[in-house]
Structures are given as structure tokens and as C-alpha cells.
Amino acid sequence: FGVNLTILPSIKPPPYAEYRQAIIESGIKIVETAGNKPQEHVTEFKKHGVIVLHKCTSVRHALSAERMGVDAISIDGFECAGHPGEDDTPGLILIPAAADKVKIPMIASGGFADGRGLVAALALGAEGINMGTRFMCTKESPIHQLVKEKIVANDERETELIFRTMRNTSRVAKNAISSKVVAMEKEGAKFEDVRDLVAGARGKMVYATGDADEGIWSAGQVQGLIHDIPTCAELVGRIMRDAEAIIQGRFAGMLSGSHRQAAE
């Protein structure tokens, strides 16, 4: 398994170099970096034989990460939970645009939950898919059952973009606090004004207590495609079966039909 090392501005920046060293000493062999330029981390990880993926929200950042020596790119469309970047480019455009220029393997991220999405990602040029919100809503996910049920109940409209005015956009589940933050931003609020509302400690309480209005928590537009709480094995198995059915059934039927028409 792998771990994520997200390098983002925060109220109390963690000791990233110490995290990196702990990852190396633990024998982890796959790391996904995200956020700010990861060059120092990539350089150190590669010295220890660690495979590095870097999450990007634009083609230019993907090409930059490729030059830094990462092994693969996770390309993150505007639909995603968390930080979608500032270009607002959805996956349907971003994935093939990146595939046209990036030479290393690429994983599609943002808005994926089922076999249809997997087939689409492969068609657009990715090697596979990343899923965040969908895996949150599984039996093994260590978050409160009420949060999982909230994700199932929500549709694709139940997210909000906070920190837009600060050029640090983040897509989060829509709740009382996110709506308040957005309203405050419209009135010219700075980060210091919303700091207590968006504190990570409050967000953690959502997952611990199940109170979806306790703090800010991440969820993507893909909530509209999530209708159950399966085990991870059930979910992955279903995605693979559905993807194969689309490729071998619908697509094969289309191809055979076009060949028949050409012959006629």
C-alpha cells in the first residue's frame, strides 16, 4: 500500500521532512505527493527506491512534475473533493489534454465511482482511476456511519467551493459552515476571519461524531453517483465487472454493427 504526503498551506504546517523520513524508514514503497512543488521530497524518495505519484490539477503542473522525476501523475479534475486548482478544468477536458503531453503513466482522479467512469478514464488516456469520496463511503472506511449515510443521501449539487477569493479553492461538502464561509468571503473576509470555522480539528469531529455540520469536510460532486455502502472488495469487484460489461457488451456491439454496415 502507499501513503499520501500533501504539502499545502495550513494553520500549523506539519514537519514534512520528518513525515518523509518516517515514510522511508517504515519501508513504504509508493507515495502520492500533492500540493506545493514536491522536488525535495521526490529527490529524497527516489534515493530510497520509493515510487512517487504527484497529484496535479493542470497539464502544466503535470509536465513540471514529470521533469522533477516522478513516476506517474494523478490528474485531478474540477469535480474532485479537496483542492481542484484554480483553472476550473473538468476531467473530460483535463484528462485527454494531459494524456496528449504527459509521457509517464497517468491516473484519472475526481468524479469517479463506478465502471462507467473507469471505462471513460481509459478512453480518455488514463491508466486507471483514483477514488476518494467513493472509498469514504465503504464499510471499511473509518469515519462515522452517519457521514457515510449523508454521502449516500446527497446528490451532485451538495458541495461548495471555499477559499475561492484566496486563490486556494477547496471543494467541500455543503453544510452550515461551508455556506457561512462562502457568504463571508463574498463580504471580503480574509483567512484570519474564517480560520476558526475551517480548522482541521473541527473537521475531524465530523468524522468522529457523525455531525455533518460540526466542521468543514471534503466530498466531491461524485456524491450524486454513490447510492450504497459496500465493502471495498464488493465495490472494486463491481466496478471491474461493470467496466468489462461495457467494453465487451455495448462497445463490442457497436463495433460489430459498424462492421456489418460497412460490409453491406
What is the per-residue DSSP string for 160-191?
Answer: EEESGGGT--EEEE--HHHHHHHHHHHTT--H
Report the range of poorest mean pLDDT among 3-17, 83-97, 167-181: 3-17
The H helix count followed by the E strand count for the chain is 12, 8
Q: Do both 196 and 119 map to the same domain?
A: no
For residue 8, pLDDT over 80 is answered with: no
* Residue 175 forms part of a structural domain: yes
Give me the pLDDT at residue 261, please: 63
pLDDT at 243 exceeding the cut of 70: yes
The arithmetic mean of pLDDT across residues 177-184, rounded, is: 98
The reported pLDDT for the residue numbered 94 is 98
Residue 119 has pLDDT above 90, yes or no: yes
β-bridge mates for residue 7, sequence order: 35
Residue 127 phi/psi, 5-degree rounding, is: -90, -15
Judgement on whether residues 33 and 115 belong to the same structural domain of the protein? yes
Same domain for 119 and 190, yes or no, is no
Q: Residue 262 — very low, low, confident or very high, per pLDDT cuts 50/70/90?
A: low
Is the confidence at residue 12, as pLDDT, over 90?
Answer: no
Same domain membership, residue 111 and residue 190 = no
Q: Is the pLDDT of residue 254 over 90?
A: no
- pLDDT given for residue 80 in this prediction: 97
Same domain, 98 and 18: yes
pLDDT surpasses 90 at 99: yes
127 in the same domain as 152: no
In this prediction, residue 9 carries a pLDDT of 67
Residue 194 pLDDT grade (very low, low, confident, very high; cuts 50, 70, 90): very high
Taking alpha carbons only, the member of 196, 168, 182, 160 closest to residue 81 is 160
Residues 111 and 210 reside in one and the same domain? no
Grid coordinates of 157: 449539487
The alpha-helical segments, DSSP class H, found in 38-156 are 39-47, 59-68, 91-99, 115-124, 133-136, 145-153
CATH code, domain carrying 65: 3.20.20.70
Domain that holds residue 170: 145-225
In this prediction, residues 236-245 reach a mean pLDDT of 97
Same domain, 44 and 117: yes
Sheet holding 30-35, edge to edge: 3-7, 30-35, 51-56, 72-76, 106-109, 128-130
**Which of 115, 110, 116, 150 is closest to 132 using CA atoms?**
110
Residue at a domain's end among 75, 108, 131:
131
Read off the pLDDT of residues 57-72 as tens digits, 9 standing for 90 and up. 999 999 999 999 999 9
Q: Which of 106, 131, 156 corresponds to the end of one domain?
A: 131
What average pLDDT does the segment 97-102 reach?
A: 98
Confidence at residue 259, expressed as pLDDT on a 0 to 100 scale: 60
Percent of the chain at pLDDT exceeding 90:
89
Cβ atoms within 10 Å, residue 22: 12
In the chain, the number of structural domains is 2
Q: Are residues 160 and 118 in the same domain?
A: no
